Amino acid sequence: MTDDEKKHVYTAFGSPEAASEFTGGKIYDVKGYEGHAFILTDKDGNNFVYVTPESTKYRDLANDVAGERISQTKDDADHAASRTIADQRGGRYVLLARVPARANRSAGRVEKLDTLDGNFNYAAAKRTGGGDIGLTMTHRQSQKLLGRKVDEYDRTPLSTDELGSDPDMQRALFQSPENQRNIESMKGALIASHDLEQKHDHGKTTAVATGIKGPWDRHRAESSKVPESPRPPGPRK
């Protein structure tokens, strides 16, 4: 990945390891939400939170990050990408966002139509060597997220460098100083780090991203287990 590509805002990833590879950042568990979410800390120190689309805890997590009950404001806690669309693209973990309620609810019908006719409003998915995806947020999608008038053809990726000049987008992606402090306090075990993997390749360390074990790995292993067939009745040996 180029330095510019590592600064893209991503709406979805196929795995925590893909998030680290595409951004050059570090991936952490979220205390109290292990197996349901992870924190991406990019190379510039920006924190983003990603959740499994099927998790029912994402609203509680968004409230913890925001430091208030979002449902009592004019915003909704939601996913930055349609869960259906992310799933069709192979995105198993979706960016957590706080968006204006009016814009969020009016966008639902449009997202369903996009899903049905295949007119995805995203840039082309990037893939790791193992096939995991990284789905970038386009300028069109970022403006649509906030209920703004959009350029239908602007599918250029949104950069993290642009967030500082857009307070509404900062708020939507939990980039305010207060939100960032809350996310820092929620960091759990390190899940993946592309930097560690690169150092290992050069013989400087024995720690590799895919070798880090913790609650996340146990959750994934348990969810992929195939139940054993019951033993037939008979005498024990």
pLDDT digits (tens, 9 = 90+) for 6-56: 899 999 999 999 999 999 999 999 999 999 999 999 999 999 999 998 889
Q: pLDDT tens digits, residue range 171-225?
A: 999 999 999 999 999 999 999 986 654 433 333 333 334 434 444 444 444 443 4
For residue 145, being part of any structural domain is answered with yes
Count of domains forming the chain: 1
The pLDDT assigned to 232 comes to 46
For residue 223, being part of any structural domain is answered with no
For residue 164, being part of any structural domain is answered with yes
Q: Token match 């893939």: residue?
A: 127
User: Greater confidence, 105 or 111?
Assistant: 105
pTM (global) more than 0.75: yes
For 56, the domain range is 3-217
For residue 53, being part of any structural domain is answered with yes
Mean residue pLDDT of the chain comes to 78
For residue 198, being part of any structural domain is answered with yes
For residue 158, being part of any structural domain is answered with yes
Flag whether pLDDT at 227 surpasses 60: no
Residue 151 — very low, low, confident or very high, per pLDDT cuts 50/70/90?
confident
For residue 69, being part of any structural domain is answered with yes
For residue 230, being part of any structural domain is answered with no
The pLDDT assigned to 104 comes to 67
